[in-house]
């Protein structure tokens, strides 16, 4: 037997042809499809096969899912950053608007308090607004938007809803200069509410400090005493709050006590103020004895000269 004969040797010399096998397996497939659709015989087999091939399905789908997850992550990160920036801008805008509303509410409350003061007192007043403040830090002065054209006069008192702010010291056509009670050259006659003791409080140059000077060390003054205007100078109406005693130093080596007070009015806060337009003037002082005698001599001389 040759090598060529060995290669062509077959165990089964007979068998179905290729077309027969195709037809057979096609019919078998259709039969299985029909039986499965009709009687559900292969449902359990399908489930077993699905369990077996599920890991392979997941492995084949994993690269696509990873790429999709990465794209989704970066897209979500971009949107979150954009939304965060937008929220920050919105927060800043809302905070600024809220601050403006709070400022307007505070000004509204202060204007209401000024209106109550104006209706409560029996002397005439006019409202004014602070135009600007003196640039010199050593001067406690400010300027309001009412002047000579609004009948403002030098010497008129300036108050707010809490008490005395200062006094008009110079008048221009459309502006007026106001010297605060804390100015070192300003003095206000006051009276202690608790015992009626009269004194004079002076500005110290410090915006938050007043001094009650020339009081003996045994003066009946206590920490917490409230000071109001006495109304004896013809400038400030009586009973307006001025300050409160916060510190007392009594040293026997000095004849006077060192008494520190704080102003009650908003000398460095509010923009709206009230100018007291008219205060009843005090009665004229009676003439002294020398002036009376001189007046009598003048009258007698005039009578002698008269024909």
Is it the case that residue 11 has pLDDT exceeding 60?
no
- Asked if the 125-276 domain carries CATH number 2.40.10.340, the reply is yes
Task: Write down the pLDDT at residue 73.
Answer: 84
Mean pLDDT lowest for which of 66-75, 142-151, 197-206?
66-75
Task: Return the closest-CA partner of residue 238 out of 166, 190, 286, 301.
Answer: 190
Is it the case that residue 263 has pLDDT exceeding 90?
yes
Q: Band of the pLDDT at 190, cuts 50, 70, 90? A: very high
Task: Write down the pLDDT at residue 297.
Answer: 56
Phi, psi of 127 (to 5 degrees): -80, 145
- Identify whether the C-beta of residue 237 lies closer than 8 Å to the C-beta of residue 229: yes
Is it the case that residue 113 has pLDDT exceeding 70?
no
Task: Write down the pLDDT at residue 170.
Answer: 92
pLDDT tens by residue, 36-86: 777 666 677 777 887 888 888 778 888 888 888 888 888 888 888 888 888
Task: Write down the pLDDT at residue 260.
Answer: 94
Q: Would you list the domain boundaries of the chain? A: 23-120, 125-276
Using CA atoms, how far residue 173 sits from 127, 144, 301, in Å, is 16, 11, 47
Task: Write down the pLDDT at residue 288.
Answer: 65
Q: How far apart are CA 67 and CA 75, in angstroms?
A: 12
Tell me the percentage of the chain whose pLDDT exceeds 90.
Answer: 24
| Helix, strand, coil tally for the chain in percent (to 5) | 40, 25, 35
Mapping DSSP to helix (H, G, I), strand (E, B) and coil, where does residue 192 land? strand
The residue that leads in pLDDT, 49 or 279, is: 49
- Identify whether the C-beta of residue 240 lies closer than 8 Å to the C-beta of residue 226: no
H-helix or E-strand spanning residue 74: helix 43-120
Residue 291 tokens, joined? 């002036």
Phi, psi of 168 (to 5 degrees): -70, 120
Mapping DSSP to helix (H, G, I), strand (E, B) and coil, where does residue 271 land? coil
Mean pLDDT lowest for which of 147-151, 153-157, 285-289?
285-289
């Amino acid at each position: 037997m040759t090598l060529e004969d060995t290669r062509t040797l077959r165990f089964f010399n007979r068998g179905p042809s290729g077309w027969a096998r195709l037809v057979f397996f096609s019919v078998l497939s259709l039969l299985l499809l029909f039986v499965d659709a009709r009687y559900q015989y292969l449902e359990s087999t399908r489930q077993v096969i699905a369990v077996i091939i599920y890991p392979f399905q997941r492995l084949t789908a994993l690269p696509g899912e990873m790429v999709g997850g990465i794209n989704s992550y970066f897209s979500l990160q971009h949107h979150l950053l954009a939304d965060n920036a937008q929220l920050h801008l919105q927060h800043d805008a809302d905070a600024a608007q809220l601050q403006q509303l709070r400022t307007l509410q505070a000004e509204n409350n202060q204007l209401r308090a000024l209106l109550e003061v104006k209706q409560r007192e029996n002397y005439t007043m006019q409202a004014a607004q602070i135009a600007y403040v003196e640039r010199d830090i050593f001067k406690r002065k400010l300027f309001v938007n009412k002047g000579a054209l609004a009948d403002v006069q030098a010497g008129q008192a300036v108050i707010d809803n809490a008490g005395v702010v200062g006094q008009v010291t110079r008048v221009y056509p459309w502006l007026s200069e106001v010297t605060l009670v804390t100015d070192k050259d300003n003095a206000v006659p006051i009276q202690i509410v608790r015992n009626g003791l009269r004194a004079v409080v002076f500005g110290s140059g410090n915006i938050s400090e007043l001094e009650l000077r020339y009081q003996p060390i045994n003066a009946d003054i206590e920490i917490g005493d409230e000071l109001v205007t006495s109304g004896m100078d013809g400038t400030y109406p009586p009973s307006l709050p001025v300050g409160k005693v916060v510190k007392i130093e009594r040293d026997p080596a000095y004849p006077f006590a060192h008494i520190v007070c704080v102003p009650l009015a908003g000398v460095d806060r509010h923009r709206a103020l009230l100018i007291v337009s008219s205060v009843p003037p005090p009665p004229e002082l009676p003439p002294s004895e020398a002036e009376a005698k001189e007046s009598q001599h003048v009258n007698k001389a005039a009578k002698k000269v008269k024909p």
